[in-house]
Structure 1
Amino acid sequence: MPSRDDNHTGARIKEQRRIARLTQRELAARIPYSYSLLNQVECGARAATPDFVAAVAAALKIDVTALTGQPYVTELQQDRLAALVRPIRESLDLYDLGADPGLQTRPGAQLAREADDLCRTVRATHLRRAAVKLPGLVAELTSAAWTTPTTELWQALASTYRTAHDIAVKLGYFDLSSVALDRMAWAADRASDASLAAFRQYMRALVYFREGEYTIGQRLISAGHGLLQGEALTRENIAVTGQLHLGATVIAARARDQHAVDTHLEQAQDCATRVGDASEVHWMSFGLTNVKLHRMSAAVEMRAYDDAIGQARSLRLPAALATSRRAHFLIDRARSEMETGHKAAALGTLMDARRAAPEQTRYHPGARETISGLLHMARSTPENLGYMAAWIGL
């Protein structure tokens, strides 16, 4: 079996457990997982799944990132992405400074198109390209919106804040992602855009989903629905309503509530049937395909891995599906294949994810933990697995 250093999630769980002065049995008693599994995760013999990590973090009252080790500083520096984070952080701090007299801004329609292009770039998982362009566009839109406060400009600014959130999450900077969501609320309020405000609640709910705070996540989803009550039944509002139900689906799955999973999936499917492919609405990729992807993700979260693999094999993803969603599907599939002992298939699926979206895959905790699990299942390390492990930073 390959040697292993202490730079893995299980080792960090062990360290934080000791800081909390808990034995393995004491910690196991506080989480919905067995002592045996905790023991295997801590020594690196089993992968730490996202739901397991969230449960441990909640029990120890620490942030999930203390256990996952994100952001992956070495890899970010190698990819020259770390240096791009500070300008984004600085641009988010311009929101209340008014117009910049030294900055010449382009016409509002052009800025709105560029904000849309940035969303499209992130969906295509070109994170570096988006991160380079984002700070300048945020600065320009901020100044323009203060100078000429139109709905279009405030909406475009809210969109760039959403892009900042997406980039921060994908690179592991969750503190920065929270700031971006606060700024998004600020701009959506000035745009008087209920669908944007509701969509922001969906993204906030996913933050708590990652942290294992499912009750708060469910409340945020309900708050999102509340923002749309009384609004016109437009295509946009129906799509956002459906996306809120999809967010509720994965939260319910993580909470092991099958009835809620089925209910939200049914309501999301109803919305998708009414609007068809609504991928263009806030770049959510909402539609019948996304409902199917969330149905599979729910199976993964509920550890019904055989069911998840069966669904994955029957899915036919359209060519137009956003690369970010395709990569997420592949990472979910690889996790299910590993958990059911299909080691070669899991490795091949992760390699497909890398080819589709290298930047997203490299910084995705699910991909990292699946490779970690494959390393410890292997009697010897195949060349492709060793290559992937080195690439992802293990």
Structure 2
Amino acid sequence: MSFPDDERTGHRIRAQRRLAGLTQRGLAARIPYSYSLLNQVECGAREATADFCTAVARALGVDVTTLTGQPVTTPDHAVLAPLRLALDLYDIGTDGLVIARPVHVLAAAADALCQQVRATRLRAAATDLAPLITELTHSVHTAPSTPGWQALASAYRSAADISLKLGHLDLSQVALDRMAWAADRASDPILAAIRQYKRGLLYKEKDDGATGRRLVAAGQQLLADEASREALAVAGQLHLGASALAARVEDATAVENHVAAARELAGRVGGEAPEVHWLSFGHRNADLHAFGAAVAMRQYDDALTKARHMALPPSTLTSRRARFLVDRARAEMETGHLDAALKHVAAARRAAPEQTRHYPGTRETITGLVHLSRRTPDTLDHMARWIGL
């Protein structure tokens, strides 16, 4: 799919690139497209596809409509439109026609939707989430309660996760702002810390690791006086988030320190804590982050060694399994194991098609396989068409 009036889109891309202080080669290095294609799009010689604009917007940290001048007409927009409205009307309640279920029922529904997101059923979760947020908004405006605000903060967190996994960074940031608003009214430092963790990882997607690490550190400060098992698990997850941000700037020492701190907290928590806000914190999660950091730092031999010593149990969240498979595919490709790379990225697609299609590592890996393969297998050709190459 392409946008109309691509020449003006190219002009907008060039303007935003210059505002970011980047050369064409500098921007091309941040996206899974060639310098030549970027040059042709900016001068209007080639179309700017939806995926291309999304990748450039992600690299520049802007909303995609800043580049296109209009909303992107993809299936995601129809699904996310009610969610956008629910997030926008957070402060005025509802029109009075809503009949909200009891708070404990709404809280259970919010938790179930969080679980659904972890299972990567993203569009189905988004469809159910908008009316739930509307119900919760009505509940907290008509009969404010701590459990109500906590459930609303959890729902906003799911909205942020869905938006990010579908490539809508702008909507994810709005949802995290709403999460902060609800967590503050719930006087819940743990939810506030999770919000800072999510916010920090959003800056990783914007290639601003320094800001992301500051936000994660702010989350740790919120837990300074907390000693519950729940707080220890969230503090450990914050360390793992910091390790991912440190890996983005290839700070191996910081990665090692944060993973070690997370392992120490996992020991205090008592092993695995999958029930704590669906973070799945524990030793296995630390192993996955150490592996992911090795991939991010382009230490592919080390990454493969780590991957081959990991056996993910069936209980592993689908979202984490799919990301592990894509990252392993990247490591296999970079070490010359092209058949294994294709096998793992195909497995990621089977496990979590919605998440895998939008994950930047998928496009990077498939693009690399297309360039490296002397003969494009039917499976690879199909995967390339699936992501819009």
TM-score normalised by L of structure 1:
0.84
Distance 1:62 1:119, change over 3 A: closer
- Mapped pair 1:185 → 2:180: yes
Conserved in 1, the CA contact under 8 Å of 2:259 and 2:290? yes
Alpha-carbon distance, 1:210 to partner = 1.2
The structure 1 residue matched to 2:81, chosen from 86, 89, 111, is 86
The aligned counterpart of 1:287 is: 282
The aligned counterpart of 1:386 is: 381
Alpha-carbon distance, 1:387 to partner = 1.2
Tell me how far apart the structure 1 counterparts of residues 66 and 309 of structure 2 sit (CA, whole Å).
Answer: 34
Tell me how far apart the structure 2 counterparts of residues 307 and 14 of structure 1 sit (CA, whole Å).
Answer: 42
Partner SS, residue 183 of structure 1: helix
- Mapped pair 1:141 → 2:136: yes
Distance 1:68 1:263, change over 3 A: farther
Tell me how far apart the structure 2 counterparts of residues 362 and 324 of structure 1 sit (CA, whole Å).
Answer: 12
- Mapped pair 1:254 → 2:241: no
The aligned counterpart of 1:163 is: 158
Tell me how far apart the structure 2 counterparts of residues 127 and 38 of structure 1 sit (CA, whole Å).
Answer: 24
The aligned counterpart of 2:259 is: 265
- Mapped pair 1:241 → 2:235: yes
Distance 1:21 1:73, change over 3 A: closer
Conserved in 2, the CA contact under 8 Å of 1:68 and 1:365? no
Tell me how far apart the structure 2 counterparts of residues 310 and 389 of structure 1 sit (CA, whole Å).
Answer: 28
What one-letter code is carried by the residue in structure 2 that aligns with 1:236?
E
Distance 1:293 1:61, change over 3 A: closer
The aligned counterpart of 1:114 is: 109
Tell me how far apart the structure 2 counterparts of residues 14 and 39 of structure 1 sit (CA, whole Å).
Answer: 20
Distance 1:219 1:82, change over 3 A: same
- Mapped pair 1:42 → 2:5: no
Alpha-carbon distance, 1:100 to partner = 4.1
The structure 2 residue matched to 1:123, chosen from 107, 118, 127, is 118
After TM superposition, the structure 1 = structure 2 runs for residues 1-394 of structure 1, keeping only pairs within 5 Å, are 41-43=34-36, 63=62, 76-77=74-75, 81-98=76-93, 100-231=95-226, 233-275=227-269, 276-394=271-389
Conserved in 2, the CA contact under 8 Å of 1:64 and 1:210? no
Conserved in 1, the CA contact under 8 Å of 2:119 and 2:317? yes
Distance 1:105 1:57, change over 3 A: closer
Tell me how far apart the structure 1 counterparts of residues 350 and 32 of structure 2 sit (CA, whole Å).
Answer: 34
Tell me how far apart the structure 2 counterparts of residues 98 and 271 of structure 1 sit (CA, whole Å).
Answer: 40
Conserved in 2, the CA contact under 8 Å of 1:13 and 1:42? no
Distance 1:175 1:61, change over 3 A: closer
Q: How many positions carry a matched residue from both structures? A: 363
Conserved in 1, the CA contact under 8 Å of 2:57 and 2:67? no
Distance 1:26 1:390, change over 3 A: closer
Deviations 1:251-275 (A, max 9, x none): 1111121111111011000111121
Moved more, 13-22 or 102-111: 13-22
What one-letter code is carried by the residue in structure 1 that aligns with 2:327?
D
Tell me how far apart the structure 1 counterparts of residues 66 and 381 of structure 2 sit (CA, whole Å).
Answer: 23
Deviations 1:124-156 (A, max 9, x none): 011121011011000001101112211111010
Tell me how far apart the structure 1 counterparts of residues 23 and 91 of structure 2 sit (CA, whole Å).
Answer: 48
Conserved in 2, the CA contact under 8 Å of 1:299 and 1:305? yes
What one-letter code is carried by the residue in structure 1 that aligns with 2:83?
I
What one-letter code is carried by the residue in structure 2 that aligns with 1:378?
S
What one-letter code is carried by the residue in structure 2 that aligns with 1:152?
P
Distance 1:39 1:115, change over 3 A: closer
Tell me how far apart the structure 2 counterparts of residues 314 and 331 of structure 1 sit (CA, whole Å).
Answer: 17
Tell me how far apart the structure 1 counterparts of residues 374 and 355 of structure 2 sit (CA, whole Å).
Answer: 29
By relative contact order (CA 8 Å, sep 6+), the higher-ranking structure is 1
What one-letter code is carried by the residue in structure 2 that aligns with 1:212?
D
Distance 1:39 1:295, change over 3 A: closer
Deviations 1:88-140 (A, max 9, x none): 00011221113542111111111000000000000001112101101100000
Deviations 1:30-86 (A, max 9, x none): 69x7xxx99994258xxxxxxxxxxx989x9664969999xx967x43xxx431111
Partner SS, residue 215 of structure 1: helix
Distance 1:105 1:63, change over 3 A: closer
The aligned counterpart of 1:8 is: none
Conserved in 1, the CA contact under 8 Å of 2:203 and 2:209? yes
The aligned counterpart of 2:6 is: none
CA RMSD of aligned residues (A): 3.3
Partner SS, residue 311 of structure 2: coil
Tell me how far apart the structure 2 counterparts of residues 207 and 134 of structure 1 sit (CA, whole Å).
Answer: 21
Unaligned ranges ≥5, structure 1:
6-11, 45-55
